[in-house]
Chain A
Amino acid sequence: MGWREVKRAVLHINSVVLIVAIIGLGVAFSLLSRHFLTLTNLRVILETMSILTILSLGVHSLLVAGEIDISFAAVLGLSAVVAALVSSGNTNTFLLILSGLAAAVAVGLANGFFVVNMGIPSFLVTLASMAGVNGLVLLLSNYRSVLLSDDLFPEIFYGRPFWQVPTAVFWMVGLIIVTGIVLRYTRFGRWVYATGGNNRVALLMGIPTKRVRYALFVASSFLAGIAGFIVASRSLSARPLIGDAYLMPAIAAPILGGALLTGGRGSVIRTTLGALVLTIITNGANLLGLEPAYQNIFMAIILIGSLSTQGGRDLIRRLLAHAVARRTKGAP
């Protein structure tokens, strides 16, 4: 094995750690609960994972570009409530989807405006918009759950056309593929990584970084809107503030997958693996009858642990990479 191969293996250290964690947790929960390794439970894991993963994809894309969006949890509730409210008028299903997504995208545009045009840090902007949207959702829903009165809508987002697997899982797979392809193989994807890696340089090289960030804020809200439809379809109603439960894990998943808060790094596959790890933990804890309080503590330990070891992993990667670079010719 040459130096380059060694370095490439180290580069994938994040993926290896995640796969080991998934196997380890799987084995541990199988030993602790006989219900864990059943077909029904694996289906439950996939279902639960779908909403979290869709939200994580939006967070992931923004993290790669050096930004963050924490308003997605509120946007999830907004799209669900708007769609449910529109459904009470016996309108076309298409109109339900359109109105819910329009509301979500409007929040994304507002976030983009304040971050990109006004230059306010994205954390503060999306913190404020989360509070504002949550308030709006409470007003719109009158502090109550809103019934979803449409037959086709839940079929689209949570129907079970094949092997009893809900469409939410197919939505998740489709969105993972689209996001992965866009970020990895398109010019826009390169621009996202360049914007997050070094915004100033990206600008110097003529990359329209403002448009890139705008597009990502809109995409993040769009994905939260889809997640909201899935949540509403699952319970056939839209409960205000339902998105709050996803806030922490949807940010934790990309970070667990190696995305940096400083931007420029991250992989869709690893973010998906991160979401799977978190879902397995929640699922296993539920099967063992652990209180939600313990789940939160466990999740916090994992997140802090991941962030703490990120520096060490990066150091190993860099040391090996420098050793490889020294062995190449042509150094002026």
Chain B
Amino acid sequence: MQGVDSRSGVTSPGVRENAVVLECRNITKDFSRIRALDDVSFELRRGEILGLVGDNGAGKSTLVKIVRGALAPTSGTIYVDGRKQRFRSPRDAIRKGIQCVYQETAIVEQLSVQENFFLGQELIRPGIGGALRFVNSPMMRKESEAYLERMGFDLDVREEIGNFSGGQRQAVAVMRALYFNPKLLLLDEPLTALSEKAKQRLGQLLVEARATCPMILVTHDFEGAVEICDRLIVLKQGKVSGELETRETPLSKAEMLHYLFTHM
């Protein structure tokens, strides 16, 4: 099946394969005289975790901000499921099925686990209550509790999330993103601030969840990226400087790390 641009009727070559969920084509971003991204193109396929790696200032975060609607590209096009998209805001991107998990856990410490779980996407009561935008707290509690439990986390969702560990908070943030069945999940350095044990547990969680939700993992932890991701794209000074398959490759882990270091 061929993807067709809904506005212009232009066919995206990236969706000739059914499996492509996201295609970024020729993305360039300028901040006054500085070119943060220079003609970056890549695609994300269904069932994979794509790693975006690179040194500080390589353009990883800028790219993620563009995909999640926080920045507009200077030029270039984004296709989601073969349809050309232009996100006006992060809310717009969320509405179109793009969820994001951040390095500094995107939670509000003063709110409970369930309130954070549905933050910005609160469940609304049916009927007149819904018209007045009353939140459906019992449903939110039930849903968040059941989902977290299914994923192996037994937390009292009525507790303030600020009382839990960094790992537990990040786990809630990841599961919150997965709960909404996103078309794709952006993970912007989600493991950086965590302990080794928490990193392993969450890494495992991501690998298990990739079948239902493709992901882009932004990281400068090369070892972690090689273990978690199926494919890696190396960014250097705003350009794609290398690409690496990590699953079906004759390269050893050490060779893959060597490749990444030489291309950054």
Contact = CB atoms under 8 A, between A and B. Distances in A.
Given A186-B133, A324-B159, A332-B167, A206 B89 contact: yes
Given A186-B134, A194-B119, A322 B163 contact: yes
Given A207-B120, A330-B152, A332-B201, A201 B106 contact: yes
A61 to B, nearest CB: 15
A193 B163 contact: no
Given A193-B111, A206-B90, A187 B133 contact: yes
Contact of A332 (B109, B163, B171): B171
Contacts of B90: 203-206
Given A194-B111, A197-B108, A201-B108, A332 B202 contact: yes
B48 to A, nearest CB: 24
Contact of B135 (A187, A264, A329): A187
Interface string A194-215: 1011100111111110000000
Nearest to B149: A330
Contacts of A196: 110
B108 A202 contact: yes
Contacts of A330: 148, 152-155, 168, 171
Nearest to A264: B110
Nearest to B89: A206
A185 B89 CA distance: 26
B190 to A, nearest CB: 12
A190 B91 contact: no
A313 interface: no
Instruction: Bin the interface of chain A by size.
Output: 20 to 34
A116 interface: no
Contacts of B194: 332
B94 A331 contact: no
Contacts, number: 111
A321 B113 CA distance: 13
A318 interface: yes
B106 A204 contact: yes
A265 B109 CA distance: 11
Interface in A65-81: none
B107 interface: yes
Nearest to A263: B110
B106 A321 contact: no
A204 B159 contact: no
Given A186-B134, A206-B89, A321 B110 contact: no
Contacts of B120: 191, 194, 202, 205-207
Contacts of A208: 91
A193 B108 CA distance: 9
A135 to B, nearest CB: 38
Interface in A267-297: none
Contacts of A321: 159-160, 162-163
B109 to A, nearest CB: 6
Contacts of A329: 154
Contacts of B170: 332
A191 to B, nearest CB: 8
A329 B164 CA distance: 11
Interface in A157-191: 185-191
A180 to B, nearest CB: 13
A4 interface: yes
| Residue among A264, A322, A330 with the highest chain B CB neighbour number at 10 A | A330
B33 interface: no
Given A204-B102, A207-B119, A331-B167, A194 B108 contact: yes
A328 B102 contact: no
A325 interface: yes
B111 A324 contact: no
B167 A190 contact: no
B264 interface: no
Nearest to B164: A325
A325 B159 contact: yes
12 contacts: A186-B133, A190-B115, A193-B108, A197-B111, A198-B107, A204-B100, A206-B121, A318-B163, A324-B163, A330-B155, A332-B197, A332-B202
Given A187-B134, A328-B156, A330-B154, 18 more contacts: A187-B124, A190-B135, A191-B120, A194-B115, A197-B108, A197-B111, A198-B109, A201-B106, A202-B119, A205-B106, A205-B119, A206-B90, A325-B163, A325-B165, A328-B155, A331-B165, A332-B168, A332-B201
Interface of A: 4, 185-191, 193-194, 196-198, 201-208, 264-265, 318, 321-322, 324-325, 328-332
Interface of B: 89-91, 94, 100, 102, 106-111, 115, 119-122, 124, 132-135, 137, 148, 152-156, 159-160, 162-165, 167-168, 170-171, 194, 197-198, 201-202
